[in-house]
Amino acid sequence: MKTTISILKADVGSIGGHTRPSARMIASVENDAQQAVSQGLLLDAYVSHTGDDIAIIMSHTHGPNYEEIHQFAWDSFIRATNIARDYGLYGAGQDLLVDAPSGNLRGAGPAVAEVEFDHDPVKTNRGRPAESFMVLAADKCGPGAYNLPLFLGFADPMYCAGLMLPNMIKGFTFHVIDMDNTSGDSMLELNAPDDYYHITALLRDNERFGIDSITSRTHEGQMAAAISAQRLHNVAGTYTGKDDPVAIVRNQGIFPAPEELLSPFAKAHYVGGDARGSHVMPLMPVPINTAVTGMYCLPIVSCIGFSLSTEGKFSDSMVDFFDNPAWDEVRRKAQEKAFAMRDQGWSGAAMLPYTELEYSGFRTTVTNLMERFAVRESTNGTGPAAEKTAQPSG
Ligand code: 13P
Ligand code: MG
Ligand code: MG
């Protein structure tokens, strides 16, 4: 049967700052999800949080962008918002940017990632005798936080030896989105390994270009990954919170194995986001349902894995990949990298450049100062360029 995995994620309020949602909020969303399963809208559902973001992970047969499912998640986020308001929590309803979504939560604030595939888990199914997938959720991060690790996992045999196997030897297609083009989804398909350097030329810019999805070149039509690559800043027109992307990544068999996909996360690579969405800090892998209480809103990423039964059930078979002592060393490394960066305070690489500063207040401060600049009389500035008021540089 055609089966879809959907993740809809939103920050609708958190305790004592941008930390985590309350237990009441989570219980409310869990209750809604169970009802949606018993009413037959969903095959199964799993609710979790990463920092202050609540993720609803669902399996169903309705395909991506199905209005009733998006509306269900929206209504559930609204109920959690009301609880956040009742208890005076911070940022109640933060990611719900429109009054009512027009059938699809894409562009309405919540993060969306969806994958549809033929689900027929039998021994004779050579491509997918069993369906397993993982869900990544990151908090205090820019939209391209997965650019580097997912590229390495799907395109570099230094991280994924499986790329040398017949099932993957032709490589993967990266569907790259230009998140600054707000007139619609502006997409470019690039193949790895052929377009290796072209892909990196785009993906190095985590704030503008993101991986939207990854598809197999050996097994055409098989989507390996879907990522919620969008900029909240461009949706809302101003800073309302960081993008905090989620991703669904199918694994094993015709796709890389979890251990291959997760090995790049051992870098604890630097990402934009953190305090006030305006700094640069390393990404720390953490167990699911971790609150953000680290120094300077240290960015975190969770990764849980699932197996999907023939009937589309998965929530009884969950594994928490980063909840393992093996990742303690990476956490320590992330903290060391964080100390090094925070030693630098506001200088240079420690903060995002002017064009990316998320708090419009920072930009206002700089712009107001730029208006006060004047060319010194004793200098030789002549001509039209010298008379122009200086502008903030990107
Ligand atoms: P969130 O996007 O996770 O709400 O964090 C916002 C922020 O500015 C933290 O300092
Ligand atoms: Mg928040
Ligand atoms: Mg968040």
Task: Give 213-233 pLDDT, tens digit per residue.
Answer: 999 999 998 999 999 988 877
* Active site (annotated) includes residue 242: yes
DSSP alpha helix (H) spans, the chain: 23-38, 67-86, 147-155, 196-203, 232-236, 258-262, 328-342, 360-372, 384-387
Q: What b/e string do you get for 52-83 counting C-beta neighbours within 10 Å, with b at 16 or more?
A: bbbbbbbbbebebebeebbebbbebbebbbbb
- Binding site membership of 95 for ligand 1 (Cβ less than 6 Å): no
| 117 SS3 class | strand
DSSP 232-288: HHHHHSS-SS----EEEEEESTTS--HHHHHGGGGG--EEEESGGG-EEEEPEE--T
Residue 204 has a pLDDT of 97
From 215, 185, 227, 177, select the one nearest 9 (Cα to Cα).
Answer: 227
**Distance in angstroms (rounded) separating the CA atoms of residues 178 and 135:** 23
Answering whether pTM is above 0.85, one says yes
- Binding site membership of 18 for ligand 1 (Cβ less than 6 Å): yes
Catalytic residue among 9, 140, 242, 337: 242
Residue 381 has a pLDDT of 62
Give all strands (DSSP E) within 184-233, no chain letters. Answer: 187-192, 209-216, 223-227
Q: Which two tokens stand for residue 295?
A: 């120094």
Low-confidence residues of the chain, pLDDT below 70? 358-359, 380-394
Residue 172 has a pLDDT of 98
Catalytic residue among 9, 11, 46, 140: 11
Q: What are phi and psi of 21, to 5 degrees?
A: -70, 165
* Active site (annotated) includes residue 11: yes
Ligand nearest to the CA of 239: 1
- Binding site membership of 277 for ligand 1 (Cβ less than 6 Å): yes
Q: What b/e string do you get for 145-170 counting C-beta neighbours within 10 Å, with b at 16 or more?
A: bbbbbbbbbbbbeebbebbeeeebeb
From 87, 139, 124, select the one nearest 299 (Cα to Cα).
Answer: 139
- Binding site membership of 276 for ligand 1 (Cβ less than 6 Å): yes
